[in-house]
Structure 1
Amino acid sequence: MNKKRKISRYTDIRNTVFFEITIGITANTILLLFHILTFLLKHRPKPLDLPIGQLTLIHLVLLVAMGFIAKDTFESQGWKDGLMCKVVIYLQRLMRALSICTTCLLSILQAIMLSPRNSCLEKFKHKSTHYYPYCLVFLWIFNMLLNGRFLVSIGATPNVTSHSLIFVTESCSQWPINHLFRYIFFALVNIQDISFIGLMALSSGYIVSLLCRHKRRFQHLHSTSHSPQVSPEERATRTILLLMSIFTLMYFLDCVTFSLLAILWKNDPVHHFVQMLVGNAYATICPFLLMSTEKRIIQCLTSKWKI
């Protein structure tokens, strides 16, 4: 008999997870539709519209996949053929990997756009938007191949007892793979994550230094009794810095819940609740932060309310 997780009775936990997923899907859908309409109506796109639109699409697919995973975690769906398991788990892992890549690229692009004329990044300002699609295609192909292991190792949970299986959801389990391939995949994933987090830290530090330099340079233009007005560019930059901070915090919390809590509460429903809640937090918060600095969305919403 399989050792299944009896967590269907935890209604508060289930409702909290589904509420977070629903809010995240709704917010990302609104933001994605806005960028699609902006493109279709021939409005002049901003340099960061493409990475923001892609990040929104990634988070939307991620949350939809997490909805299926949460549904099968709390209430077994009986995916007996294993195909649904492979597709859902593969999409979830792929979107999670692409989320960190796109967030890092967004931070780097913002740093390039803010760089002064005498900076070494000045020559990349006009080239960045041209080479971004090529970088995007490379990251998609690389992560599709890297996460392709889940298409092989994930399958429906069998009716026989096996201590080597790793239970992912009630219906899906992960079969063990060769130790060599396991270490190779583990090394590649961690190298990619550490590299992108390091690049985010460098670009964020560079942006902070530019903002501080800009504030000191124009401080004498403002009186001490009046605070300087924050420009839209500076407000957007601060939002991206906040996104970097939230992503880094959620990433390390996710690592903690996946490793430490998995050891302490291996089959505890609270562990799965915390892991899902933390894993979905960035994808849920991100669209709200991006919409708060998007003047076009704010104007559209306010005009609707006036009507």
Structure 2
Amino acid sequence: MIVHGIALKIIIFFQTLVGVMGNSFLLGLYIITFFAGPRLRTIDMILTHLAFVNNLVLLSKGIPQIMAALGLNNFLDDIGCKFVFFFHRVSRGLSLCTTSFLSGFQAITISPESSRWAKIKPRVQKYTVPFWLFCWVFRMASNGPILIYMKGPQGHKNTTSILDFGFCSVLFNPSLTTSISAFLIFLPDAICLIIMIWASSFMVLVLYRHRQRVQYIHSSRLFSRPSLETRATQSILILVSIFVYCNLINSVLTVYVQFAKTNHWLLNVSSFLAACFPACSPFVLIFSDSQVSKYCLTIWEKIKPPSITDF
């Protein structure tokens, strides 16, 4: 079990490193494109915010995990633990909000013109930034109880009600107040997951109907080359599938660890699953979204040194 724990911590280290590099690449690409390249699409603005908050998720969780793996279990005091866990929960909630908004926006984008959802697309584009501001304020307010319950690794005397994370601990005292606080924290997460599942089901249905229609119009050779909109929808479906799958398993593990005896190996598995989506999402977009390669090519054309033939 000790060997497995060490191996898992090494995997978490590389997961954090690779994930931060991938999200930073996308974030830098979209920022440079915004100032120097072609006009960004609305969906690119959403992906920019997603890459930013995913980096916050990886850094706020990965760095403490890595330092704990190096044996530095007491490097955070009470204030440090409150700040790190609060930032992690807020950024994770923002990642969830942004992913659900992304799936809903794409579902509206590919909806038929006759659909009522197509009529609200201009409104969605208009209120994208205010929606993010609302999510930031709401997530910071709803995660306020973390600033009360989170302590340092030796912040409690009664060890029977402590959930130990190795570098921090939280006072876990089952009561009506605690249950209400947990309900208020996880209710928005459940709503966002429901939106993602609905939007994904809707997108699959739209793509299926579109396939059925074009089969009567185009040859199989033409149909084998999906449109840019279809490829974007498929990449978002992959993102949502990874998010839902990893977070459902992670939620089950989190509940089990809270009500069972603390198991550091399961805590490491939970941390790995929680970081799977923010670490994998940039590479799904890099390899599946043709706009990413287009932006890279445009930027390269602007910054590449002149060749000899240009003189």
Q: TM-score, normalised by structure 1?
A: 0.88
Q: Map 1:22-101; keep pairs closer than 5 Å.
A: 22-41=17-36, 43-74=38-69, 75-79=71-75, 81-101=77-97
Return 5+ residue gaps in structure 1 as ranges: 1-5
- What is the deviation of 1:147? 0.7
1:82, 1:156 within 8 Å by CA — same for their partners in 2? Answer: yes
Name the amino acid aligned to 1:179: S
Matches within 5 A, 1:151-230: 151-158=147-154, 161-176=157-172, 179-224=175-220, 227-230=223-226
> Aligned equivalents of 2:20 and 2:3: distance in 1?
23
**Structure 1 position 169, deviation (Å):** 3.1
Map 1:219-298 → 2, pairs under 5 A: 219-224=215-220, 227-260=223-256, 266-298=261-293
Count of matched residue positions in the alignment of Structure 1 and Structure 2: 300
Counterparts of residues 123-134 of structure 1 (less than 5 Å): 123-134=119-130
Deviation, structure 1 residue 229: 1.3
Residues 80-118 of structure 1: per-residue CA shift (max 9 Å, x gap): 542221111111111111111111100111111112221
Structure 2 residue runs of 5 or longer lacking an equivalent are 306-311
* Secondary structure of residue in 1 paired with 2:47: helix
Greater shift in the superposed pair: 293-302 or 113-122: 293-302
Residue identity over aligned pairs, in percent, reads 26
Q: Secondary structure at the match of 1:221?
A: coil
Greater CA drift, 92-101 or 159-168: 159-168
- Displacement, 1:129? 0.8
| Larger displacement relative to structure 2 (118-127 or 190-199) | 190-199
Task: Give the SS at the match of 1:78.
Answer: coil
Q: Partner letter of residue 60 of structure 2?
A: A
1:232-281 Cα deviation digits (max 9, x unpaired): 110010111111111110111101221235666x3444212211211111
Q: State the distance in 1 between where 2:131 and 2:156 align.
A: 45
* Deviation (angstroms), 1:157: 3.0
- 2:101 aligned to 97, 105, 129, which one? 105
Asked if 1:117 corresponds to 2:131, the answer is no
CA deviations on 1:110-147 (whole Å, 9 max, x unpaired) are 11111222111122111111112222211211110111
Compared CA separation, residues 224 and 35, structure 1 to 2 (3 A): closer
Greater alpha carbon shift after TM alignment, 236-245 vs 129-138? 129-138
- Normalised TM-score (structure 2): 0.87
Cα distance in 1 for partners of 2:173, 2:127 equals 37
Secondary structure at 2:42 match in 1: coil
CA distance in 2, matches of 1:133, 1:159: 39
CA distance in 2, matches of 1:81, 1:58: 25
Question: Is the CA contact (8 Å cut-off) linking 1:38 and 1:45 kept in structure 2?
Answer: yes
Alpha-carbon deviations, 1:37-68, whole Å to 9, x = none? Answer: 11111521102112111111111011001122
